[in-house]
Amino acid sequence: MTDAIPLPTSGNQAGNRLNMLAKALLVMGSALLPHSAAMAAERTLTVYTYESFTAEWGPGPIIKAGFEEQCGDCSIEFVALDSSAGILNRVQLEGDNTRADMVLGLDTNLMAIAEDTGLLVESGIDTDRLDLPVEWTSKTFVPFDYGYFAFVYDTEALSTPPTSFEALINAPDDVKIIIQDPRTSTPGLGLLLWLKSVYGDQAAEKWAALQPRILTVTKGWSEAYFSLFLNGEAPMVLSYSTSPGYHMEIDKTERYQAAAFDEGHYLQVEVAALLKRSPNQALGREFLTYLTSKAAQSSLPLSNVMYPVIDLGDDLPPSFNKLITPASTHLFSPETVRDNRRDWINEWLEASTGG
Quote the pTM value.
0.87
Q: How confident is the model at residue 9 (pLDDT cuts 50, 70, 90)?
A: very low
Residue 27 has pLDDT above 60, yes or no: no
High-pLDDT (> 70) share of the chain, %: 88
Burial state string for 296-329 with b = 16 or more CB within 10 A and e = fewer than 16: bbbbbbbbbbbbbbbebeeebbebbeebbebeee
CA–CA separation, 226 and 239 (whole Å): 11
Could you tell me the domains of the chain?
41-146+269-322 (3.40.190.10), 147-267+324-353 (3.40.190.10)
3-state DSSP helix/strand/coil percent for the chain, to nearest 5?
Answer: 50, 20, 35
Mean predicted confidence (pLDDT) in 123-148: 97
Enclosing H/E stretch for 257: strand 256-259
Dihedral in degrees, nearest 10, Cα atoms 34, 40, 42, 46: -120
